[in-house]
Structure 1
Amino acid sequence: MTEPAPAAAAPVAHPEIEWRRLPPKMLVVAPASILLKFIPAFVVVLLFGGSESPVKIWITVAIAVFAVAAGLIRWRTTRYRITPERVELHSGLVSRQRRSVPRDRIRTVDLTSTFLHQMFGLSVVKVGAGQSSTAGKDGQGLDLDAVSGAEAERLRRELLAVPAPASDAPATGPPATRTPETEHVTATEPIELDRLSWSSLRYAPLTVSSLAAVGALAAAGWNLVNEADIDPRTLPGVSTATGELSTAPLWAAIGVGIGLLLLVLVAGALVLFTERWWNFRLTREPDGTLRVRRGLLTQRSLSVSEQRLRGVTVAEPLLVRLVGRGAQAGALSVGLGGSEGSDGGGGALQPPVPAAHAHEVAAVAMRSSEPVTDVALRAHPVAARTRRLTRAVVPALVVIAAAWVLGGVWDLAWLGPVSLVLLPIGVLLALDRYRSLGNRLDERFLVSRQGSLVRSTVALQRDGVIGWRIRQSVFQRRAGVVTLDAITGAGAGAYEILDVDPAVAVDLARSTTPSALDAFVPGGHSTQSP
């Protein structure tokens, strides 16, 4: 016989709180959203259905009817409500879903409004309740697609106003890390911390994520053209240019091709950057949240509670760092994935900007009057440099040897000599990776830095570190170094300090969380490093 539920579970039932439905405008937005996804199918049907065949008409009508029916069912079966303890969402007809998220587990509230949603004044509310959750169980986030703009803003304020529970606070850490600078300042209006400067456009073509996105869009467009059986070389103007290139020297044709490719990539990166970061604003809200608003065709608003902010990161991709001396600040918050790259996702607080400005925003986000990430760091041992060089030079030598062998087999005499450029490139990258290594511990933050292709500086609040992991591979054991992982409930969950002296690793762990290593030290309170 099942035992009755404990008395503490009684407040979960709130029959007096009415369920809310999505606005009637969703009867238009939901079908339209489905139809937009079927545009490629429409194109194929119209092009290959035959001019006299009614098949393409019936298929088009069937898709339209399906979209309207799906939208009607979605609107009719979706309802939600907010109780003092939980956010509840019921949806579905054939496959019914019942989602319930405890309000004290809510970490972020993300408002997203596509161009179609903007036309009807609607917004999608995405409630984040942590990174690791199982579908259908408590702790999973939920999406309300979609509610009115006013309702979305009200939900954002209401859901993030819940104080963080005691269990959500870090378990360890010295009380001294809490300083007056971390206390919330009472304000009645949002405080603007940063806004878009169009000078940041120069960084758009220098980020790998933007170039990859342009490449993906170009590939999708090329596939669509192929499916439509269209030969771009036969288009007016293109055929003439193609004919002229066919008679030009090979080096000229290759140069023109590379130039056109770079032009498309740069132009596409600029367009994507503009759409992603249009009207960007970073503000500190009166409800104690950091809010990032951005977007043109798709407007986004991400709110992160400062109570759950555990640190910041400043990422410097290689091209952005070398060509434009730029960087990008990101937030490390409980329930929010890390933002190590310049992709504008995750916990990014801003687009790529000059490095000095990124470090300044990182400090302001942590309510610090002193630099947080732009500080002098302790260098790592020489063994770390040897390991960087070995890991770069050995693979380069293998590739060079393979290039010489294959060049002889394939009768490509130039392949071997050209591959020699990999050796100096590998050495330069290895030395840059070593120069990037560093760590520091001060009164408030544990700071670590590493990387070359993307140099990342992470500043974790000392009371945001909840555990440690020390790792040592066979090669590290021979070199006399270890990797120290600082475990936290925010961002990626663990941030490593690579190739440090074992005594330094133990001292950092003990100094950051004094009680964490007591069980492993004779006497419990010894401060002598092994």
Structure 2
Amino acid sequence: MLLVHPVTEVVRVAPALVVSLIIGSQHDDYRWTLLGLLIVVSHAILRWFTTSYRFGPVHIELRTGVFRKQRLSVPRSRIRSVEAKASFLHRVLGLAVVHIGTGSHAHHEHPFELNALDAKLVPKVRAALLTKDAVPQESTRAPADRRGTEIAHFSLAWVRYAPFSLTGVVAVGTIAGVIFQNGLGQRIADSAFLTGVFGAARSFGLVAMLACLLVALLVFASALACVRYVLSYGRLTVIDDGTVLHVSHGLLTTRQTSLDSSRLRGTTLAQPLLLRLAGGARLDAIMTGVRVHEHGSSLLLPSAPRAEAIRVSGTVTGTRTQDDVRLVHHGPAATRRRYVRALSPVAMAAAGLAIASRYVQMPSYAWWALAAATLTAIAVAWDRARGLGHAVLPGWLITQTGSLDRKRHTLQSSGIIGWTVRQTYFQRRAGLATVIAATPAGKGRYEVVDIPAERAWQLVDAVTPGAGDIWLVPRH
């Protein structure tokens, strides 16, 4: 256990140590490098010795700090999820990192995290915290094995959806940034291989060279996205034991999340444009106490076939009536608003070009770019209008919006604690309104965007009977 903290801290400050080593090598003096390494390792060892935790019948406590002591106490009644992660180093040493999620909304609060916990204790700790029982010690007998029902598991065929995300492009950008930051960009550009490639490409023309570069970038980014997908989500399983949802995935770094089923308030079906065109979707759980900024804690399915995501959503929520439900369209006014908002920036750009063309000669490609932007805006507006809608089912509210990042939220009506009907100036002019459902789960608020104003409180009263009837009574 003692090895984890020093290695982690050394890796964290590795860039500073490398710089110190380079400076020391120029003067044959490595004392400052060794001193810095000694300070880092000593601080990590002291932090391990000064960290302790206690599970009580009412509260759980965590004490940390070397120079500044901190004591974090959390009521056990606020525990919403227990997540266990294990990097490659943790797995070699038989350890894990346990993160305990609560219902706190504050981003600045310190997380309750137990680093370097014996991996054999993780199942016992997880079961005890989620069932509110006393936490067993290492010498006690393990709890009864509750295998539960497997809802979903990883399929290698899902890897085909990985290139339709931006993870590969981000990885390429990160690698390029590291290369140029360390002064290796010029060396790579001057290498014999790239010089020969660019020389051969010039003979085919500039357009062909740019096309080849774009294809190479897409292939490289897709390959990185596929590798990351397999490493992150390989061996994924979703198991329901009746009271807890267990989600486990990862090859090098494993991640095991346990979600209290009684805290489940719905699901979010995420369908970004590229992934949607490929027929895929991503599924997240809407959980009380699991906030949006806790990335990955609410994951049920990564990028997978849309039919599989819908099936898992229906299984988790306990109802299949949401699978093929038709959404209620918000009418022509909402459609016009989609087109107006999409075409307004294009119209402003066109006006700017028209004014500038009276004084200077505008290149022809500027007008071609404007035409392309107009067609793109029309396509996005059409897609946003087609995807806008909602549905009310017994006990559930379904709302969908977006085009480039379309999301379909299925929210349990019993988890809604308040309603807001909002109208901006332009919405009032168009006779529209936005209905906001407040909930302590997920991102805290889910919107039904640009619904006709006369139907806003009718929607509220349909989902939560009695919540909107006071606004439906005609006032004299």
State the TM-score, normalized to the length of structure 1.
0.82
Q: Out of 17, 39, 46, which is 1:73 matched to? A: 46
Return the alpha-carbon distance in structure 1 between the equivalents of residues 153 and 360 of structure 2. 57
1:479-511 CA-partner distances (Å, limit 9, x unpaired): 111110111111111111011122321111112
Return the alpha-carbon distance in structure 2 between the equivalents of residues 262 and 405 of structure 1. 38
Checking the alignment, whether the CA contact within 8 Å between 1:403 and 1:419 is kept in structure 2 is no
Q: 1:401 to 1:131 in 2, by over 3 A?
A: farther
Checking the alignment, whether the CA contact within 8 Å between 1:344 and 1:350 is kept in structure 2 is no
The yes-or-no answer on 1:53 pairing with 2:27 is: yes
Return the alpha-carbon distance in structure 2 between the equivalents of residues 145 and 494 of structure 1. 33
User: SS state of the match for residue 510, structure 1?
Assistant: helix
What is the match of residue 4 of structure 1?
none
Return the alpha-carbon distance in structure 1 between the equivalents of residues 221 and 407 of structure 2. 25
The alignment-based identity, stated in percent, is: 31
Return the alpha-carbon distance in structure 2 between the equivalents of residues 483 and 132 of structure 1. 24
1:28-75 CA-partner distances (Å, limit 9, x unpaired): 1111111112333344444x43645233x2233123212320221111
Residues 478-487 or 239-248, more deviating: 239-248
The yes-or-no answer on 1:516 pairing with 2:471 is: no
Q: 1:521 to 1:427 in 2, by over 3 A?
A: closer
Checking the alignment, whether the CA contact within 8 Å between 1:344 and 1:351 is kept in structure 2 is no
What is the match of residue 397 of structure 1?
347
What is the match of residue 260 of structure 1?
216
What is the match of residue 328 of structure 1?
282
Return the alpha-carbon distance in structure 2 between the equivalents of residues 199 and 474 of structure 1. 49
- Look up the equivalent residue of 2:171 and give its one-letter code: V
Checking the alignment, whether the CA contact within 8 Å between 1:35 and 1:63 is kept in structure 2 is no
Residues 81-90 or 65-74, more deviating: 65-74
Matches within 5 A, 1:132-151: 132-133=105-106, 141-151=111-121
Q: Out of 53, 76, 97, which is 2:70 matched to? A: 97
Deviation at 1:92, TM superposition (A): 0.9
> How many residues align structurally?
465
The yes-or-no answer on 1:126 pairing with 2:112 is: no
User: SS state of the match for residue 282, structure 2?
Assistant: strand
- Look up the equivalent residue of 1:152 and give its one-letter code: V
User: SS state of the match for residue 441, structure 2?
Assistant: coil
Return the alpha-carbon distance in structure 2 between the equivalents of residues 281 and 293 of structure 1. 5
Structure 2 portions without partners, runs of 5+? 134-143
State the TM-score, normalized to the length of structure 2.
0.90
The yes-or-no answer on 1:31 pairing with 2:6 is: yes
Deviation at 1:519, TM superposition (A): 5.2
Q: Out of 126, 132, 136, which is 1:156 matched to? A: 126
1:233-288 CA-partner distances (Å, limit 9, x unpaired): 233533433444455522232222212221221111112111211111111135x1
1:390-436 CA-partner distances (Å, limit 9, x unpaired): 11112122234445667885863322223211112111111111111
1:440-464 CA-partner distances (Å, limit 9, x unpaired): 1111211111111122111111111
Checking the alignment, whether the CA contact within 8 Å between 2:458 and 2:468 is kept in structure 1 is no
What is the match of residue 269 of structure 1?
225
Q: 1:386 to 1:440 in 2, by over 3 A?
A: same
- Look up the equivalent residue of 2:364 and give its one-letter code: A
Provide the alpha-carbon RMSD of the alignment: 2.6
- Look up the equivalent residue of 1:334 and give its one-letter code: T
Return the alpha-carbon distance in structure 1 between the equivalents of residues 369 and 472 of structure 2. 55
Q: 1:234 to 1:107 in 2, by over 3 A?
A: same
What is the match of residue 165 of structure 2?
207
Q: Out of 259, 263, 276, which is 1:304 matched to? A: 259
1:102-158 CA-partner distances (Å, limit 9, x unpaired): 00011111111111111101111111112413756xxx6411112011122221111
Return the alpha-carbon distance in structure 2 between the equivalents of residues 384 and 87 of structure 1. 50
1:278-334 CA-partner distances (Å, limit 9, x unpaired): 111111135x11121111221111111111111111111111111x11111110001
Structure 1 portions without partners, runs of 5+? 1-24, 164-185, 523-527
Deviation at 1:100, TM superposition (A): 0.3
User: SS state of the match for residue 107, structure 1?
Assistant: strand
Return the alpha-carbon distance in structure 2 between the equivalents of residues 248 and 529 of structure 1. 75
Checking the alignment, whether the CA contact within 8 Å between 1:316 and 1:328 is kept in structure 2 is yes
